[in-house]
Amino acid sequence: MRKEVIAILCSDLHLSHTAPKVRSGEPDWYKAMARPLSELRRAGNRHGVPIICAGDIFHRWESSPSIINFALGALPPSMWTIPGQHDIPDHNIDQIHRSAYRTLDMSRRISDMSCMMNPVAKNAKLEVYAFPFGKAIHPPTGKRESAVRACVAHRYYWTRDACYELADAETMIRTTTPREFRGYDVVILGDNHHHFKQMTTHGGNTTMIYNCGSMTVRRSDEIGKCGYYGILYDDTTIETIKFDSDEDRIEVVDDMSDIVEERLDMDSLAEELSKLAESDLDFATAMRRYLRANPTRKQIRAIIMEALKHGQE
């Protein structure tokens, strides 16, 4: 029997008005972002199936009108999505109404699965459970009625070959046989920008874990490790397709400062620094006070403290 395509899989689009440093050579950053989105659109139209995106449509939740307008025109139709932490104000999903992501949903440009009851979709071919950033993953419920039971989640899945040292240790999944994945045929993940897929077995059942990876290179450490989308078949197999990157302009740069900025709460930091004019604190003292008051990954803390040390020499 011929297998049938039931969904297109992607994640971590990170649409942004400004090109990241590694892509600063792009003559037109908006056209560079449009190229893979056009491929997704063609794939969805060719197979007549939904495109499932596992989070982080935008790079910043408060994206500018220009990038929101770009998304309204460039995103493929029939897109089922969940928000990632970059889509969510202050990582608090109760504030999602303030975001660019919600603008897309209210414009009916995307179908936001995070506001639906699980399973968010259920037919003879596919049963989907959705878990946006910050929501715990749980096994499927009820009697199986679909050919494929799928979990879509924005959670960082850590593996030895696909890992990022500054990822949030509190929310990442490190075990090779996560209990949350039991009962699913396929788990579609976002957040980890490195693409991979692997099989895990528990209780005699096998689950395909498909980490989509970012749509396109945004950091030097992603070169050669992202830029793929998946085609999900009704026999639970997933075919990986590489986006056409022949026109991409990518160069290796030192982009650690961009990574640090992404991981800091910049609004809180700005508020702390604004107090300098009203007090006798110097910059270094204000930074140390911020780090004490705000949870910060130890790698980022070390980078900042080393910079402060050199600045005072």
Contacts of residue 15, Cβ cutoff 8 Å, sequence gap at least 6: 33, 57, 58, 59, 63, 67, 70, 71
6 C-beta neighbours (distance < 10 Å), count: 23
pLDDT in tens, 94-115: 999 999 999 999 999 999 999 8
The pair of structure tokens assigned to 202 is 């528990």
Contacts of residue 259, Cβ cutoff 8 Å, sequence gap at least 6: 166, 219
- Which architecture, in CATH terms, is 5-242? 4-Layer Sandwich (3.60)
Q: Which helix (H) or strand (E) holds 73?
A: helix 65-74
Distances (CA, A) of 191 to 10, 55, 307: 11, 7, 28
Quick one: which of 226, 212, 217, 243 has its CA closest to 11? 212
CA distance 158 to 169: 9
CA distance 149 to 6: 12
Of the listed ranges 76-85, 127-136, 222-231, 266-275, the least confidently predicted one is 266-275
Q: Is this prediction's pTM over 0.85?
A: no
pLDDT in tens, 159-181: 655 455 444 545 555 555 577 88
What is the pLDDT confidence band of residue 141, given thresholds at 50, 70 and 90? confident
Domain with CATH 3.60.21.10 in the chain: 5-242
- Tell me the backbone φ, ψ of residue 239, rounded to 5 degrees: -95, 130
Of the listed ranges 121-135, 248-262, 283-297, the least confidently predicted one is 283-297
Quick one: which of 191, 145, 147, 141 has its CA closest to 171? 191
Q: What is the mean pLDDT of the chain?
A: 83
CB-based burial label for 154 (10 Å; 0-12, 13-18, 19+)? buried
Helix axes 298-312, 283-293, angle to 10 degrees: 170
The pair of structure tokens assigned to 61 is 């939740």
pLDDT of residue 166: 46
- What sign for the dihedral angle of Cα 149, 39, 26, 107? negative
CA distance 56 to 262: 13
- Contact 79/51 with Cβ under 8 angstroms? yes
On the question of pLDDT at 158 being above 80, the answer is no
pLDDT in tens, 110-119: 999 998 888 9
